[in-house]
Amino acid sequence: MNAPTAPLAPWHVTSLNPVEAPWPLLLSADPSREKVRGYLPGSTCFAARYRQAPRPGKLGDILGICVLVPLPGQSGTPRPWELMNIAVASHLHSHGIGGALLQHAIAWTREQKAPRLEVGTGSFGDQLVFYQRAGFRVTGIERDFFLKHYTTQLWEREVQHKDMLRLTLML
């Protein structure tokens, strides 16, 4: 039987200035600092934060973040968006924080009248369940993406990530 987890202090999802996004969280979802530096400045970010005073520790009052960027679209119509990064502090996984951030990102892109929200992720692992629970469907595969575009090898459960799946949620 799992030990009962302590209830979390109250938190909510708010806008986040991209320059304030904590690097440990960004890198836990995307280990390429170079890639993150490329998409972060033009992004729209949200954070799950404690409602009360900042907690001690390197993340302050932040429990998790998500980073969205607009994709090229047809002129005169709202652009699709891509979820570039989503991460929750590792000791707080499975409390619904990532799901709340994802739902916030979906609601926000809907408000922008975007036709769809996309995300690129590994071809196996827990993240696939996470996105598919929210309604994302597989719409493409880029073979060898993680071999070509990352200088560090990405391993999960002793399997190396090689191919990237593109998932799409039609809005």
Ligand X SMILES: CC(C)(COP(=O)(O)OP(=O)(O)OC[C@H]1O[C@@H](n2cnc3c(N)ncnc32)[C@H](O)[C@@H]1OP(=O)(O)O)[C@@H](O)C(=O)NCCC(=O)NCCS
Taking the complex as a whole, the smallest distance from the CB of residue 77 to ligand X amounts, in Å, to: 27
Q: Does residue 67 belong to the site contacting ligand X (CB under 6 A)?
A: no
Taking the complex as a whole, the smallest distance from the CB of residue 110 to ligand X amounts, in Å, to: 19
Q: Does residue 49 belong to the site contacting ligand X (CB under 6 A)?
A: no
Q: Does residue 95 belong to the site contacting ligand X (CB under 6 A)?
A: yes
Among 62, 98, 108, 167, binds ligand X (CB under 6 A): 98
Scanning 14-22, 36-44, 90-98, 139-147 for contacts with ligand X by CB under 6 A, the matching segment is 90-98
Angle between helix axes 97-111 and 126-133 (nearest 10 degrees) is 50
Q: Judged by CB, which is closer to ligand X: 77, or 160?
A: 160
Q: Judged by CB, which is closer to ligand X: 95, or 104?
A: 95
Taking the complex as a whole, the smallest distance from the CB of residue 95 to ligand X amounts, in Å, to: 5
Q: Does residue 130 belong to the site contacting ligand X (CB under 6 A)?
A: yes
- Sheet with 44-50: list strands edge to edge: 11-16, 44-50, 62-70, 81-88, 116-122, 164-170, 137-142
